[in-house]
Amino acid sequence: DGGITQSPKYLFRKEGQNVTLSCEQNLNHDAMYWYRQDPGQGLRLIYYSQIVNDFQKGDIAEGYSVSREKKESFPLTVTSAQKNPTAFYLCASTSGPGELFFGEGSRLTVL
């Protein structure tokens, strides 16, 4: 089945550690996205990529980094510079303007 796979589903991290969240899609979509979801704040855009080897900062990119070396993959690294990393992270992709397909999400908890 086509879709978006995020891993891990749950992740615990100690303060000061970097952590990488995986996002893979087999939908042949060009554009991929990372959002952060916090209660009462909706979804906030971290980074997005319209094409391989290119990506743009979203509204809350500080403390995060991404790469887009393959069309299918768009990993997100949460660095130690991110002041409040505990959150639910959602990856999405699209073949057209705005019609996003989402993964099941990764919940990161910083201990």
Partner 1 sequence: AQSVSQHNHHVILSEAASLELGCNYSYGGTVNLFWYVQYPGQHLQLLLKYFSGDPLVKGIKGFEAEFIKSKFSFNLRKPSVQWSDTAEYFCAVNAPPGGYQKVTFGTGTKLQVIP
List of residues contacting partner 1 (CB under 8 A): 31, 33, 35, 40-45, 48, 50, 56, 58-59, 90, 92, 94, 97-100, 102-105
φ, ψ (nearest 5 deg) of residue 41: -115, 0
Q: Using CA atoms in the order 42, 46, 12, 21, what is the torsion angle rounded to 10 degrees? A: 120
Please state the closest distance from residue 18 (CB atom) to partner 1, in A.
26
Please state the closest distance from residue 40 (CB atom) to partner 1, in A.
6
Please state the closest distance from residue 50 (CB atom) to partner 1, in A.
5
Q: Beta-carbon neighbour count of residue 32 at 10 Å?
A: 29
